[in-house]
């Protein structure tokens, strides 16, 4: 259940506070190995959960044991409560959407053992996800908030939602490169703060490669803590809805929208790293496009440079527009030797048929660090490449 009644004292994170809490420019960039122990206890603390969590010393934010039977919001990064302006009592399944978008919640939370029961529930036919969450409903999230819908509309001018034509096309890579480039440009023009946000990430495990939240921090070089960059993290590398369901959790779009608006207000530029692509399901009836629409953010589409990308990109642009989103650009990422000609042809066709500018053509730069080491060298190499390859003037 979500209670809208009392704003939580001290939860409103204004721009002023945001700047005040920003580490000094010469502070060491926090890495996954430098967060304090308090910052590591993200799950359960503050929720009164009796469960004790083993903190993963590698990624330092994900509990080693995922307590499937927990009813509290163990899958939600509670550090991000600072971005929440309303008191939230987590039901363990996330919260229903307001007004007519309210969906019938199952009588008990999904558990792994209940998967058969969950899948036997009636499936709504002809379901059109992004029609069900009109932008006006964003005002619900702002009721007790200093961000009004109108201001929220203006905020879209300084945020960008990164999506892609497929999983693995380089969305997180482009998001971190873009964040670094935007910060550099702000620094050269009187200062300001760029934020990065990963609303939902999957495949976060001890043995897995770095999670996207870590890549965003290490790849952008921004002086921010990884623990503050993501909201939901799930162990299985699958579609977010399924990843949540597998541990008996449910992603709350309304909480993410509220959090996103507060994050937008708290920095000068916000780069949001989506998940999977616009049509990737986040819940049983919401897809990534719904989140971008709730935030009213323009979308930047990351696509492959070679064969197949024209079709994938035009489909993504059409889907974005159908969802009421504004595609502001395409980045063709990872072209290799010998691919320049086909990439240029593809860029021309994408611009012609989709009427969206190709604002970046990023080469494949081998040698991305697999672990947390050597990122500063990698970033320096990328700074030169990306400043020549991205047209930031085409962004809001």
Ligand X SMILES: Nc1ncnc2c1ncn2[C@@H]1O[C@H](COP(=O)(O)OP(=O)(O)OP(=O)(O)O)[C@@H](O)[C@H]1O
Residue with the two structure tokens 């995922």: 66
Is 316 annotated as belonging to a binding site?
no
In the list 29, 279, 315, 365, the residue contacting ligand X (rule: CB under 6 A) is 365
The yes or no reply on residue 212 touching Mg ion (CB under 5 A) is: yes
Q: What share of the chain is helix, strand, coil (3-state, %, to 5)?
A: 40, 15, 45
CA dihedral 158, 292, 216, 380 (to 10 degrees): -50
| Region binding ligand X by CB under 6 A among candidate stretches 126-134, 171-179, 336-344, 352-360 | 171-179
CB of 207 to ligand DNN, least distance (A): 15
Segment (H or E) for 59:
none
Residue 72 vs 304, nearer CB to ligand DNN = 304
Sheet hosting strand 327-335, strand order edge to edge? 230-234, 194-202, 269-273, 159-164, 299-303, 327-335, 358-363
Is 172 annotated as belonging to a binding site?
yes
DSSP per-residue codes, 211-270: -HHHHHHHHH--S--GGGTEEEEESS-S-HHHHHHHTT----HHHHHHHHHHHHHTSSEE
Which residues is 361 bridged to in the sheet? 332
Stretch 206-245: interaction string toward ligand X, x if CB under 6 A: ------x---------------------------------
Q: Which does 364 bind (CB under 5 to 8 A by kind): ligand DNN, Mg ion, ligand X, none?
A: ligand X
In the list 72, 76, 82, 173, the residue contacting ligand X (rule: CB under 6 A) is 173
**DSSP-derived secondary structure letter, 79:** G
Q: Which of 204, 261, 199, 260 is nearest to 231 (CA)?
A: 199
The yes or no reply on residue 276 touching ligand DNN (CB under 6 A) is: yes
The yes or no reply on residue 362 touching ligand X (CB under 6 A) is: yes
CB of 40 to ligand X, least distance (A): 23
* SS3 (DSSP) at 225: coil
Which residue of this chain has its Cβ atom nearest to ligand DNN in the complex? 276
Dihedral (CA of 114, 117, 122, 127) sign: positive
CA dihedral 254, 260, 265, 271 (to 10 degrees): -160
The yes or no reply on residue 2 touching ligand X (CB under 6 A) is: no
Question: Of these residues, 15, 150, 198, 394, which one is catalytic?
Answer: 198
Instruction: For residue 198, indicate whether it is catalytic.
Output: yes
Residue 83 vs 241, nearer CB to ligand DNN = 241
Q: Which of 295, 382, 353 is nearest to 330 (CA)?
A: 353
- What is the β-pairing status of strands 327-335 and 299-303? parallel
Q: Which of residues 203-262 bind ligand DNN (CB under 6 A)?
A: 203, 237, 239
CB of 166 to ligand X, least distance (A): 7
Point out the residues that are catalytic.
198
List residues near ligand DNN by CB under 6 A. Answer: 167, 202-203, 237, 239, 275-277, 280
List residues near ligand X by CB under 6 A. Answer: 164, 167-173, 212, 276, 333-334, 362, 364-365, 368
Binding-site annotation, residues for Mg(2+)? 172, 212
List residues near Mg ion by CB under 5 A. Answer: 171-172, 212
């Amino acid at each position: 259940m979500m209670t809208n009644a009392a704003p939580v004292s001290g939860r409103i994170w204004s721009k002023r506070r945001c700047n005040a809490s920003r580490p000094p420019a010469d502070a060491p960039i926090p890495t996954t190995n430098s967060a304090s122990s308090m910052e590591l206890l993200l799950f359960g603390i503050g929720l009164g959960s009796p469960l004790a969590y083993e903190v993963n010393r590698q990624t330092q934010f994900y509990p080693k044991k995922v307590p499937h039977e927990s009813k509290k919001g163990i899958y939600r990064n509670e550090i991000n409560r600072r971005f929440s302006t309303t008191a939230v009592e987590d039901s363990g399944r996330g919260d229903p959407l307001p007004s007519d978008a309210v969906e019938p919640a199952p009588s008990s939370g999904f558990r792994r053992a209940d998967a058969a029961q969950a899948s036997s529930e009636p499936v709504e036919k002809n379901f059109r996800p992004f029609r069900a969450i009109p932008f006006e409903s964003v005002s619900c999230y702002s009721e007790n908030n200093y961000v009004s819908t109108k201001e929220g509309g203006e905020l879209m001018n300084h945020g960008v939602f990164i999506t892609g034509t497929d999983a693995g096309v380089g969305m997180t890579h482009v998001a971190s490169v873009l964040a670094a480039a935007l910060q550099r440009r702000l620094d050269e023009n009187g200062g300001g703060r760029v934020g990065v946000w990963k609303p939902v990430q999957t495949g976060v495990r001890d043995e897995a490669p770095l999670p996207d939240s870590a890549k965003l921090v290490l790849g952008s070089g921004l002086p921010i803590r990884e623990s503050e960059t993501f909201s939901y993290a799930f162990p299985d590398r699958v579609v977010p809805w399924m990843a949540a369901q597998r541990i008996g959790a449910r992603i709350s779009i309304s909480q993410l929208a509220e959090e996103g608006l507060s994050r937008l207000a708290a920095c000068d530029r916000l780069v949001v790293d989506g998940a999977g692509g616009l049509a990737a399901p986040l819940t049983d009836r919401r897809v990534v496009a719904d989140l971008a629409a709730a935030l009213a953010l323009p979308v930047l589409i990351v696509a492959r440079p070679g064969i197949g990308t024209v079709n994938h990109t035009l489909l993504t642009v059409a889907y974005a527009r159908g969802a009421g989103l504004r595609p502001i650009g395409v980045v063709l990422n990872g072209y290799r030797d010998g691919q320049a000609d086909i990439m240029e042809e593809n860029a021309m066709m994408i611009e012609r048929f989709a009427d969206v500018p190709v604002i970046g053509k990023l080469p494949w730069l081998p040698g991305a660090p697999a672990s947390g080491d050597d990122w500063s060298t990698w970033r320096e190499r990328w700074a030169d490449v990306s400043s020549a390859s991205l047209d930031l003037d085409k962004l809001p």
